[in-house]
Amino acid sequence: MKRKIIRNIEWGILICTMLLIIVGLVALTSATQNSDYDELKKQILWVCISIPVMLIIIFVDYETIAKISPVFYGIILILLVGVLFTEPINGATSWFNIGSFSLQPAEFAKIICILMLAFVITKIQRKGRDELSRVPKLLLVLLTFAVPTGLIILQPDYGTALAFVMALIFMLFAAGIKKRYIITAILIVVIALPLLYFFVLPEHAKTRIDVFLNPDLDPRGAGYNVIQSKLAIGAGELFGMGLFKGNQTQLGYLYPKTTDFIFSMIAEEMGFIVAAGIIIVYVILITKAIYVAKTAKDDLGSYIAIGIAGVFFFHMVENIGMTMGLLPITGIPLPFVSYGGSSLLSNFIMIGILLNISGRRKKAIFID
């Protein structure tokens, strides 16, 4: 059985992951040279922890994992409530501090929510795919999504909450939801956005949107980071300024250079060619994840894989988009490249699940 799984695995996903890890570690080496490589050392430790976890997950049938997802779902809800009572870090109560390490439950909530949603949707569709379009059944799916997402918004962590939304959209689309619901959802969003801006969003979130629309509105304050980010990307030109030689990176103008703006640091020191190569690798990774969803042996595997593809898609587009000033800054990390233990471990778990699903498919499936 293990040989069959290994033979069927979508190896391109693992290759893309390792390429991103290597680029991320090289970037962190340069970005942390003035801090005794502290974050680099922690990231290497998390890589060493995450790879064995990924390997274990590959060989545990994803159907078994999905069946116990309600238990994980309950545990993660408790953690998401508990983290609200921790000390705020940069204005958000998102982390449990454990010695010199921190744990961010929201990162793991993404995986658990995808598993739970896939589990619920497949249960609903046992009597037929059209069952999902019944209002009570659809409301059950939305409630499953809304509870953890609402708790994450309370932290507040709007970027991660949007990753949940993207995963849900991908999964509902794959599940064949009726077009009338899609049109209704679009109309609700169009109406709700201005209402959220004026009556719901806190001042710092409004400021981020205002600065996104006009970075020069507050160049020394809220607009400072994105202006420095664009300067760093532009300064890199084609081949970069060289590792350890980036002006914005090494002189401390780019912040935080190991997490939110690591892509800017890469573009400055390694140049357009490497930065563009990273985007290509992400596109391949996401395309492979979608292919796994198309070739999965059952709907459960398909929904899980497409949900994971949605998360990776959002993280790539949002992180790279915000560093270029094309999207508002939300604090979303770049998967496998940005520093962060919880993010790295959760991403490796998602890769493990993708490889798990691909290893159990019928290799000779071709879909037009």
Domain spans of the chain, in order of start: 2-86+104-359
Using CA atoms, how far apart are residues 82 and 84, in angstroms rounded to an integer? 5
Q: Are 120 and 144 in contact (CB under 8 A)?
A: yes
Output the pLDDT for position 95. 86
Counting as low any pLDDT under 50, the low residues of the chain are 364-368
Q: Which residues of 155-187 are buried (b: 16+ CB within 10 A; e: fewer)?
A: bbbbbbbbbbebbbbbbbebbebeeeeeeeeee
Output the pLDDT for position 1. 62
Using CA atoms, how far apart are residues 167 and 144, in angstroms rounded to an integer? 13
pLDDT in tens, 167-195: 999 999 998 888 778 788 778 877 877 77
Using CA atoms, how far apart are residues 332 and 211, in angstroms rounded to an integer? 17
Q: Which residues of 238-265 are buried (b: 16+ CB within 10 A; e: fewer)?
A: eebbebeebebbbeebbebbbbbbbbbb
Cis peptide before 148 (omega within 30 of 0): no
Using CA atoms, how far apart are residues 216 and 232, in angstroms rounded to an integer? 17
The DSSP bridge partners found for residue 97 are 102
Output the pLDDT for position 99. 73
Output the pLDDT for position 234. 92
Using CA atoms, how far apart are residues 9 and 304, in angstroms rounded to an integer? 16
Q: Among 44, 22, 274, which residue's Cα sits nearest to residue 265?
A: 274
Output the pLDDT for position 368. 36
Give pTM, 2 decimals: 0.92
Output the pLDDT for position 144. 94
Output the pLDDT for position 210. 77
Output the pLDDT for position 363. 52
Output the pLDDT for position 315. 96
Q: Are 360 and 62 in contact (CB under 8 A)?
A: yes
Output the pLDDT for position 213. 76
